[in-house]
Amino acid sequence: MEESMRVLHDSHGRSVRYLRLSVTDRCNLRCLYCRSNARRRCIPHAQVLRYEEMARIVGIAAALGIGKVRLTGGEPFARKGCEAFLAMLRGRFPDMDLCVTTNGTLLEPYIPLLRRIKMSAVNLSLDSFDRATFARVTGRDMLPSVLSALDGLLAAGIRVKINVVAMRGANDGQMDDFVHAARNMPLDLRFIEFMPMGSGTLWSPENFWSADDIREEAARRARLIPVEADALGAEAESGPARMYRIEGGLGRMGFISPLTNHFCLICNRLRLTSEGALRTCLFADKEYRLRGMLRHPRITDEALAAVIRRACADKPVGADLLRARREGAAVAARQMVGIGG
């Protein structure tokens, strides 16, 4: 592709350099924040993008200036061949910032591969270090498997970010454990505000725990030292978390506030669902269907790139959509597991 194709910008002046790629909508857990009261069916296998089709999109995205790709789900390792796909991507795109988000329950056998292909980071969804609370939040008693995977990642020298979806009445009594982990392990532990995603969402004002309140709880247990934006380096461009060092600790804590203090004006990401729907904003239901184009023998990479560029040009400001939603309603029709976490 020509050099002129290598820049993605939207109408708000934001540069887009990050693709979140969902490899499956299937998951072996049933977390409260992904579940809803609505009945959900998994995407039929024939409608899910093949790995080669996903790799083609990554190649087009790289030619458009995308420098970071994160595999998400569902649970990525619940799809057969995910580890081979990761190795394929690293082989084709050796300079790509390549990451994966996982619940960790199936991860441990693949840690040697992640180390070998120099995985940039693993985001581990871990909402409690207490076994009973973990089982209540996720619907499965699998905390030992996750903790074993966490130990394996750290032993392998792989960068780890723990993602905690914060919910009152679920894990708001676990702060001592969270601070202990961030103090004693060389990792980033980041709290994410529970978002009202998907029709029938279980989100409510009663279970919402704001980032400011979470930070106050943590600050009662440890001295938090703000990490200045310039000290974050390149990550500051894409990382939405406000990061803090723990005085005398090995790790850091972060607070992500999509509802109370949005970061939409610096958003630099696109999302591709497992069936090939391109979304330019987590909160927007508008999707650009790429699967049919990928499977058409006459559609070129340049034609696909043109669609991606048009989609980026219309990328909305999610906070505007959030403000416009009805009180108590979901901000998007799809659940997170269908979009890609």
* Position 3 confidence tier, pLDDT thresholds 50, 70, 90: very low
* Position 326 confidence tier, pLDDT thresholds 50, 70, 90: low
Count up the domains in the chain and report the number: 1
The residue-averaged pLDDT of 315-326 equals 84
Going from the C-alpha of 323 to that of each of 83, 284, 318, the distances in angstroms are 40, 12, 9
Give 269-304 pLDDT, tens digit per residue.
999 999 999 999 998 999 999 999 999 999 999 999
Higher pLDDT residue, 39 or 188?
A: 188
The residue-averaged pLDDT of 182-200 equals 93
Contacts of 231 (CB under 8 A, 6+ apart): none
CATH for 12: 3.20.20.70
Q: How many helices (H) and strands (E) does the chain have?
A: 11, 12
Domain of 74, in residue numbers: 3-339
* Position 103 confidence tier, pLDDT thresholds 50, 70, 90: very high
- Cα–Cα distance, 4 to 31 (Å, whole number): 43
- Whether this prediction's pTM lies above 0.85 is answered by yes
Residue recorded with tokens 């001592």: 176
Using CB atoms within 10 Å of the CB of residue 108, give its burial: 0 to 12 exposed, 13 to 18 middle, 19+ buried: middle
Task: Check if the beta carbon of residue 332 is closer than 8 Å to that of residue 198.
Answer: yes
Task: Check if the beta carbon of residue 31 is closer than 8 Å to that of residue 138.
Answer: yes
* Position 33 confidence tier, pLDDT thresholds 50, 70, 90: confident
pLDDT of 19 higher than 50: yes
* Position 230 confidence tier, pLDDT thresholds 50, 70, 90: low
